[in-house]
Chains A and B, each alone.
Chain A
Amino acid sequence: MMTPEQLIMTSLALPLLAVGLVFLFGKIPNLRDGCSIVVSVLLFGVTCQLAQLVFNGERPELVIGEMIPGFKIRFLIEPLGMIFALVASGLWILTTIYAIGYMRGHHEKNQTRFFACFAAAIFAALSAAYAANLLTLFVAYEVMTISTYPLVTHNGDEEAKRGGRVYLGILISTSIAFFLFAIVWTGHIAGTLDFVPGGILQQPFAEGKISPAGLAALLALFTFGIGKAALMPFHRWLPAAMVAPTPVSALLHAVAVVKVGVFSILKVVIYVFGIDLIRETNLTGSLSDVGISDWLCYLAAASILLASLVAMTKDNLKARLAYSTISQLAYITLGALLASESSVIGGGMHIVMHAVGKITLFFCAGAIYVGAHKKNISDMRGLGRAMPLTFAAFLVASISIIGLPPGGGSWSKWFLAVGCVESGQAWLMGALMISSLLNIAYLVPIPIRAFMTPKGEEPQKWHEAPMMCVVPLCITAVGSVVLMFFADSIYRVLLQIV
């Protein structure tokens, strides 16, 4: 039995081991991919052991050492990070299996580099999940950006170069100009960068070291600086990154990368500001005036609606999913910024629900591409007869994303709506409801039309993508329903953090 410290160490070392093994066996594809799968399963096992500890109230800690004099790289696992780590490592197994099927079915080049960068990104995601202070989080965040760049530009053509440029350009600029600035500013004011329950800014604020306006500016710097959360107007990198092979889009742009973004925002809100501070601070000090997070809430609500509207106009399936992701991320950002108990829990829960649902949708998009070489929704009419499993999974996952029972997403959206009421902004609930309607409009017709055979055409023959692609997407689709019945346990775990 390993000590908690060793468990953390192992769970961070395993993805790095995977990077090494992938490079080592680069010339023997079966061995290389076998290693990826074995390591990902081991990692999930270790993460589950850690989860048991954390959910029982323990807070395992690991100090690596000083990276910069006075600033430590330190890990401390709390429930939110643990849930994120579980999601990321669990879905890594399925994505690896799926990616093997996809990359081989597609005869992609540079598969070794691909799988190595993939594992490096998981390492970054776990480091971010376990981070005990802002410096550690920032380092993990940037490692994630750099390690996913070769994945986004995997195809190496002109389009990939352009997409990569937007991807790196936006993520690096926002993180350096805003996020890093906000971190150093926080350190300057609070004298510490640690994540502390209740926040680290309350004390300095009470002492008058920062004004409400300053606090509002700091919150805005964090919210925009964490560009991975894709809050409008810094969302362009996400659709641009869709030039990547679909497994990348699936894991990284539905789970790891974007979720690191919203996860970081939640962490900042809960452990740096403290939800009480955000809820109770008004810019001018009187109750009737705007709070420091209000205008960001409106922006997030606008982001939810606008991204949904844009999604409706996209005929390319991956582009539509990309905008859908932007919209769903804004739900989580909104949940964080509303800073009420239910909204934060809803945000945390939506990380899980959306991850499982959206990865299914991306898996389906990839399976359709591998099986039928179709990218555009308008070409998919009648395809459901050929790929019934894929499209059935698509429908199930869509229901979860929309927030209808029996999809897991219904719970997280419920808590978010309650959060709107709790924080006295009930009308924002309207934005959530309208957006849900829009979700129905842009997701559900895809599988429905696929099952309708166009007039005058023979129903297509059964022609699914390879099993390695189809099985993972069925598992995640089932998962998004099963989660509906486990929402209670997630709720209880998240209750520990508010």
Chain B
Amino acid sequence: MIEQLIQFLDVVSKSPHLPVLLIAIPLVAAPLLILIGNRKLVQILSLIVAWVVFGISVAMLGRVLATGAFEYQLGGWPSPYGIVYRVDHFNAFVMLFVSALGALVLTYSPPSVAAEIPRSKHYLFYPSYLLCMTGLLGMCVTGDLFNVFVFLEISSLSSYALISLGKTRRAPLASLQYLILGTIGATFFLLGIGLLYQITGTLNMADIAEKLAASDAKRAELVAFAFMTVGLFIKMAVFPLHTWLPNAYTYAPSVVTTFIAATSTKVSVYAFVRMVYTIYTPKFAFETLPLDRAMVVLALIGIFVASIAAIYQTNVKRLLAYSSVAQIGYMLLGIGLATEAGVAAGVVHMFNHAFIKGGLFMVVGCFALRIGSVRLEDWRGAASVMPMTCFAWAVGGLGLIGVPMTAGFVSKWMLLTATMDAGNLTVAMLMLISSLLAVVYVWKVVEAIYFSEPSEKVKAAKEAPLTMLIPTYVVIGATVVFGCWTVYSAEIAQLAAKALLNASGVVQ
């Protein structure tokens, strides 16, 4: 029996159809789940789907590492005529952590969903969640630019729906705010695609890149680039286009915040990197256009402003939301360097931050469940009744600060060496100083939960259930593991950066 199972898994993992199964399975499952409608069954089935998707991502990454990038032609239509799914180091890596966190957060979700989302809407929550995950994975896997837009909209629309499920009446408002800005972003992105299609007559990314190199429609190229950049910056929540994010993260149900915070903005970063390094060239983005300088300035201002804003928050979800805006700045700094080390640092920070922020939001979810509040004054003295949850916060917080032996340190170190090697001592110094702000906002919470008299709400609370604590500790544990052992994080990020830069003709 077990032998047959292993044989079956072996055959499946060698299947050429993995890239499309990754998308098709959750996409088909979502509407079917709505038809089923049974709460318990929907929950179990969606969990199975999420873990299967994770398995597929692992298999694809394994294949990329063993034999290099591979393509899947939808319907057998060869590129550039049909839609192509192309898997290389970079997107296999991104899909791995998106699907990993997708599955882990879903495993963790049931008690939190039961507490924060009305019972009648549970059967809608799970399909929307799967759709959101599908959209994010689709944006990564596809090699077709219009397809990116389609998946971007799938993930966006489902996340608007997910955010609006929040308990308070401000959730729909936050969702609407996000919808308006998100739609503007998506529209800009679409406009850019339209222009590119007009110039090149194709939607296949590799093909566009080839045709762009030969084209002389410089102005149209520039306009397309500008539209797509601004569109993606909105989705990435780059300062000052981040205004939708704090409200959306604060008022969405905890599980939704966790999943979106861990994955959504990073996938937009992924799309941006693809645009700069695969469709256009870094030469175009950073030499013809001075986008790198603009990015450094925006990133640094964003890091400082958002970190300082985070320090003054009393709502922990909002605190982490501002921290997310700051962290996007670090990714931009790395990517804007246009060196192999810089891009690798940016990419590895996507991965590391996904686990760190995901883990911290999972902790917030545990508190929200047991204490019924995400306001810091209600968490005071929580360590006396919820020691495990509090310890998870401390470890995750150390990761966010970037203390050695956590994933955050690996990112910081790589980013710092890359910046320094690019000859930018001032930026390196500012980066380090800014990371000290994280100490303040993380430790503010630590002091409140460890060194205060328990609040009324804490006295009535008890430790979070194991079904939530175990996934939380898996994610938090991962931040420690990937802080000491980087074979599957930093090294893959380096391979991805190398492949990206080689393809775009930057010679090191």
By a beta-carbon cutoff of 8 Å, the part of chain A in contact with chain B is 65-69, 71, 138-139, 142-143, 146, 153, 156-158, 160-161, 164-165, 168-169, 172-173, 176-177, 180-181, 184-185, 187-188
Say yes or no: A180-B436 contact (C-beta < 8 A), given A68-B486, A139-B405, A146-B403.
Answer: no
User: Could you show 12 A-B contacts with beta carbons less than 8 Å apart?
Assistant: A67-B410, A68-B410, A68-B413, A68-B490, A69-B490, A69-B494, A138-B404, A139-B405, A146-B403, A173-B439, A188-B417, A188-B420
CA distance A187 to B428 in the complex (A): 14
Nearest Cβ on chain B to A236's Cβ, whole angstroms: 16
Q: Which of B386-438 contact A (CB under 8 A)?
A: 398, 401-405, 410, 412-414, 416-417, 420-421, 425, 428-429, 432-433, 435-436
Taking a contact as CB atoms under 8 Å apart, the answer to whether B490 and A176 are in contact is no
Measured CB to CB, the nearest residue on chain A to B402 is A176
Query: B494 contacts which chain A residues (CB < 8 A)?
Result: 69
Taking a contact as CB atoms under 8 Å apart, the answer to whether A176 and B417 are in contact is no
CA distance A160 to B421 in the complex (A): 42
Taking a contact as CB atoms under 8 Å apart, the answer to whether A185 and B425 are in contact is yes
Query: B414 contacts which chain A residues (CB < 8 A)?
Result: 68-69
Measured CB to CB, the nearest residue on chain B to A169 is B439
Q: Which of B486-508 contact A (CB under 8 A)?
A: 486, 490-491, 494
- In the A-B complex, the 10 residue pairs with the closest CB atoms: A161-B451, A139-B404, A188-B420, A142-B404, A184-B416, A69-B490, A177-B432, A173-B436, A184-B420, A68-B413
A-B contacts besides A67-B486, A69-B486, A172-B439, 5 pairs, CB < 8 Å: A69-B494, A165-B443, A172-B401, A184-B428, A187-B420
Q: Which of B398, B401, B412, B416 has the most CB of A within 10 A?
A: B416
Query: A176 contacts which chain B residues (CB < 8 A)?
Result: 402, 432, 435-436, 439
Query: B486 contacts which chain A residues (CB < 8 A)?
Result: 66-69
Query: B286 contacts which chain A residues (CB < 8 A)?
Result: none
Query: B398 contacts which chain A residues (CB < 8 A)?
Result: 146
Say yes or no: A156-B413 contact (C-beta < 8 A), given A69-B491, A173-B436.
Answer: no
Nearest Cβ on chain A to B62's Cβ, whole angstroms: 20
Query: B485 contacts which chain A residues (CB < 8 A)?
Result: 65, 67
Taking a contact as CB atoms under 8 Å apart, the answer to whether A156 and B491 are in contact is no
Say yes or no: A142-B451 contact (C-beta < 8 A), given A168-B443, A180-B432.
Answer: no
Cross-interface CB contact of B405 among A66, A69, A143, A157, cutoff 8 Å: A143
Taking a contact as CB atoms under 8 Å apart, the answer to whether B490 and A165 are in contact is no
Query: A173 contacts which chain B residues (CB < 8 A)?
Result: 436, 439
CA distance A146 to B429 in the complex (A): 23
Q: Which of B458-508 contact A (CB under 8 A)?
A: 484-486, 490-491, 494
Taking a contact as CB atoms under 8 Å apart, the answer to whether B432 and A156 are in contact is no
Measured CB to CB, the nearest residue on chain A to B420 is A188
Nearest Cβ on chain B to A305's Cβ, whole angstroms: 31
* B447 part of interface (Cβ distance < 8 Å): yes
Taking a contact as CB atoms under 8 Å apart, the answer to whether B451 and A156 are in contact is yes
Nearest Cβ on chain B to A383's Cβ, whole angstroms: 34
Query: A146 contacts which chain B residues (CB < 8 A)?
Result: 398, 403
Q: Which of B191-230 contact A (CB under 8 A)?
A: none
* B450 part of interface (Cβ distance < 8 Å): yes
Taking a contact as CB atoms under 8 Å apart, the answer to whether A71 and B413 are in contact is yes
CA distance A418 to B486 in the complex (A): 48
CA distance A162 to B404 in the complex (A): 24
Taking a contact as CB atoms under 8 Å apart, the answer to whether A177 and B433 are in contact is yes
Query: B443 contacts which chain A residues (CB < 8 A)?
Result: 165, 168
Taking a contact as CB atoms under 8 Å apart, the answer to whether B421 and A172 are in contact is no
CA distance A390 to B151 in the complex (A): 75
CA distance A169 to B486 in the complex (A): 29
Query: A160 contacts which chain B residues (CB < 8 A)?
Result: 451
Query: B429 contacts which chain A residues (CB < 8 A)?
Result: 177, 181
Nearest Cβ on chain B to A253's Cβ, whole angstroms: 21
Taking a contact as CB atoms under 8 Å apart, the answer to whether B436 and A165 are in contact is no
CA distance A387 to B490 in the complex (A): 59
Say yes or no: A156-B484 contact (C-beta < 8 A), given A68-B490, A165-B443, A181-B429.
Answer: no
CA distance A193 to B433 in the complex (A): 22
Measured CB to CB, the nearest residue on chain A to B435 is A176
Query: A69 contacts which chain B residues (CB < 8 A)?
Result: 414, 486, 490-491, 494
Measured CB to CB, the nearest residue on chain B to A142 is B404
Query: B417 contacts which chain A residues (CB < 8 A)?
Result: 184, 187-188
CA distance A156 to B384 in the complex (A): 11
Taking a contact as CB atoms under 8 Å apart, the answer to whether B404 and A185 are in contact is no
CA distance A165 to B439 in the complex (A): 11
Query: A180 contacts which chain B residues (CB < 8 A)?
Result: 412, 416, 432
Q: Which of B220-266 contact A (CB under 8 A)?
A: none
Taking a contact as CB atoms under 8 Å apart, the answer to whether B404 and A143 are in contact is yes
Measured CB to CB, the nearest residue on chain B to A150 is B450
Query: B451 contacts which chain A residues (CB < 8 A)?
Result: 153, 156-158, 160-161, 164
Nearest Cβ on chain A to B389's Cβ, whole angstroms: 17
Measured CB to CB, the nearest residue on chain B to A153 is B451
Cross-interface CB contact of A172 among B420, B428, B436, cutoff 8 Å: B436
Cross-interface CB contact of B450 among A71, A156, A185, cutoff 8 Å: A156
Query: B484 contacts which chain A residues (CB < 8 A)?
Result: 67
CA distance A65 to B490 in the complex (A): 14
Cross-interface CB contact of A181 among B421, B432, B491, cutoff 8 Å: B432
CA distance A146 to B404 in the complex (A): 10
Cross-interface CB contact of B436 among A161, A177, A184, A187, cutoff 8 Å: A177
Nearest Cβ on chain B to A440's Cβ, whole angstroms: 40
Taking a contact as CB atoms under 8 Å apart, the answer to whether A181 and B428 are in contact is yes
Measured CB to CB, the nearest residue on chain A to B344 is A69
Query: A139 contacts which chain B residues (CB < 8 A)?
Result: 404-405
Cross-interface CB contact of B447 among A65, A68, A165, A172, cutoff 8 Å: A165
Measured CB to CB, the nearest residue on chain B to A180 is B432
Query: A71 contacts which chain B residues (CB < 8 A)?
Result: 413
Query: B428 contacts which chain A residues (CB < 8 A)?
Result: 181, 184
Query: A65 contacts which chain B residues (CB < 8 A)?
Result: 485
Measured CB to CB, the nearest residue on chain A to B484 is A67
CA distance A139 to B483 in the complex (A): 11
Query: B413 contacts which chain A residues (CB < 8 A)?
Result: 68, 71, 184
Q: Which of A139, A173, A188 has the most CB of B within 10 A?
A: A188
Nearest Cβ on chain A to B108's Cβ, whole angstroms: 26
Measured CB to CB, the nearest residue on chain B to A189 is B420
Say yes or no: A188-B432 contact (C-beta < 8 A), given A67-B486, A68-B486, A69-B494.
Answer: no
Say yes or no: A185-B405 contact (C-beta < 8 A), given A67-B486, A165-B447, A176-B435.
Answer: no
Query: A157 contacts which chain B residues (CB < 8 A)?
Result: 451
CA distance A177 to B402 in the complex (A): 12
Q: Which of B410, B412, B451, B486 has the most CB of A within 10 A?
A: B451
Query: B410 contacts which chain A residues (CB < 8 A)?
Result: 67-68
CA distance A214 to B402 in the complex (A): 27
Nearest Cβ on chain A to B320's Cβ, whole angstroms: 20
CA distance A66 to B401 in the complex (A): 22
Query: A153 contacts which chain B residues (CB < 8 A)?
Result: 450-451
CA distance A65 to B486 in the complex (A): 10
Query: B412 contacts which chain A residues (CB < 8 A)?
Result: 180
Measured CB to CB, the nearest residue on chain B to A160 is B451
Q: Which of A65, A67, A157, A165 has the most CB of B within 10 A?
A: A67
Query: B403 contacts which chain A residues (CB < 8 A)?
Result: 142, 146, 172
Q: Which of B404, B428, B484 has the most CB of A within 10 A?
A: B404
